[in-house]
Amino acid sequence: MDGPEREGRKLHRSFGGLALLGILLVVAGLVGLVYTGVATLTSMILFGWLLLVGGLVGLVHAVQSRGTSYFWLGVVVAALNIAAGAVVIRHPHGTAEALTMFAALLFLTGGVFRLVGSVVVRGPQFGWTLLQGAFGLLLGLLVLFDWPHSSLYVLGCFFSLALLFDGLGLIAIGIGGRRIVSMVSEQMTPGGGEGEGTDPLTHDSRKRSEN
């Protein structure tokens, strides 16, 4: 029983670590919702470093695969990622303004297409699709009318909400996993489950004697 019990304790600690990471993400998301400007700047810098590191890794892979037909394509893509990452890191505010404008246009076009599609098709989800389209259109207009000031809080708000919901999901997985591991461990221990640790013949004879 030492092996299963040891594995159960490892799983218990692993799920506990997931729950702890979820709590940290929830706290970071709540802080980001309060300080949206800092969250926007942080998300832009992280985005820039991701592009830069991804470009460097892609460049290394391209150099390792030189001589193949994908060499120059890999070099060009890696160079673009490196250049974009450097620009984002050096100019996070300008990048936030550009991405906010892009997000507003996405909301607008998505809202218009949902509105038109819901009116033309009139499917079973007509009301829900119409509401989604109206919400997307309204959100895009609000972001666009307040641009470029909206770039100070829109991306930070989205980034913080993503952290918040990811953290809540990890907490749910961690707590649920710990409960399942505890239940399985109790069933595997002697006397933990129904009929565990009991001779079936003795159990049947005891039931007959009671009857």
- State how far the Cα of 127 lies from the Cα of 133, in Å rounded to an integer: 10
Identify the helix (H) or strand (E) that includes residue 70.
none
CA dist 46 → 131, 144, 155, 170 (Å): 34, 24, 12, 21
Tens of pLDDT, residue by residue over 143-188, are 888 787 777 788 888 888 888 888 888 888 888 877 877 777 667 6
Tens of pLDDT, residue by residue over 95-113, are 888 888 888 888 888 888 8
- State how far the Cα of 116 lies from the Cα of 141, in Å rounded to an integer: 17
SS3 category, 148:
coil
Contact (Cβ atoms closer than 8 angstroms) between residue 200 and residue 79? no
Q: Which of 13-17, 78-82, 201-205 has the highest mean pLDDT?
A: 78-82
The overall pTM is greater than 0.95: no
